[in-house]
Amino acid sequence: MPKIQRASDVIEQDSEKAFYFIGGGIASAAVAALLLKYQGSGGFVPLAWILVFAAVGLIGFGVFWIVKAKQVTSVSIKCPFCFERNDLIEQPVDDDVPCVACNRMIPILGGVVLSVSQVRCGFCNGLNYYSSKTEALLCEHCNREIQLFQEEGKDSGKRIAKGFAVVDDDQQYELVLVEVGRSSEEVITTLQQMLALNRNQVKDILENTPVTLLQGLPRMKVDLLVAQLSAHGATAEARSLK
């Protein structure tokens, strides 16, 4: 099955083809005009008309690709890890797709984006994510394999956690922005959506880093927000409220 493409990638590819065809057509028309203007004895007239027809054809192909780029439709899915929107040319059914922001594979089953859970690695205690589709997981931090599931019985079909328990943390946390990083514009846009503030309010907050952005969040929620900010180059931390 062919890989599902992003709508922005398809538009960019079609627009690039249109640019080259139209650029080639304009160049051919310019050369043809020079030949007709300075034809001398007339020996270059046939070549000039060939270039004119070539220019018409190239520009026609360019217009075709422009129309095709404008006709690209998109389907939006939200990454369960960083909550970033991903626009695809069609709805994926069972194929996972990489997130444009955090580059994690978005788990999809039956056309539905699956929710993700957390587990800590028994070797390095690093936090990892998995969905109901996950059969095995490599730790993002130490690259060791975390066996997540085993069959409870031959005929039951029920899967239960094995090896390393899922994090069960009922504490409340605060999200602290430590450093904005280089991509300040991306961070500002992300914080506008995250905090429901306008641009000037967000810029005022960034002038006082490190700064607490949100409080009273469960561990999973704050870790996902930390990952979302990290994807845009910012440094954030989850701090326990004691």
CA distance 87 to 90: 9
What Rg, from alpha-carbon coordinates, does the chain have?
Answer: 27
- Per-domain residue ranges for the chain? 7-70, 77-161, 173-240
Indicate the length of the chain as a whole number: 242
- Could you confirm whether domain 173-240 is CATH 3.90.1150.10? no
pLDDT score at 13: 92
Residue 79 and residue 104 in contact, taking contact as beta carbons nearer than 8 Å: yes
> What are the residues whose beta carbons fall under 8 Å from the beta carbon of 58, sequence distance 6 or more?
21, 22, 24, 25, 28
pLDDT score at 230: 86
Structure tokens at 21: 């065809």
pLDDT per residue of the chain (242 residues) written in tens, 0 to 9: 467 888 888 889 999 999 999 999 999 999 988 888 877 566 778 888 899 999 999 999 999 999 999 998 889 999 998 888 899 988 888 889 988 888 889 999 999 999 888 887 766 777 888 888 887 788 888 787 776 655 455 444 444 444 444 555 668 889 999 988 877 888 888 898 888 889 899 888 888 888 999 998 887 788 888 888 888 888 898 888 87
pLDDT score at 161: 42
Examine residue 107 and say whether the peptide bond preceding it is cis (omega within 30 degrees of 0).
no
pLDDT score at 184: 83
CA distance 180 to 228: 13
| Helix %, strand %, coil % of the chain (to 5) | 35, 25, 40
Q: What is the DSSP letter of 152?
A: S
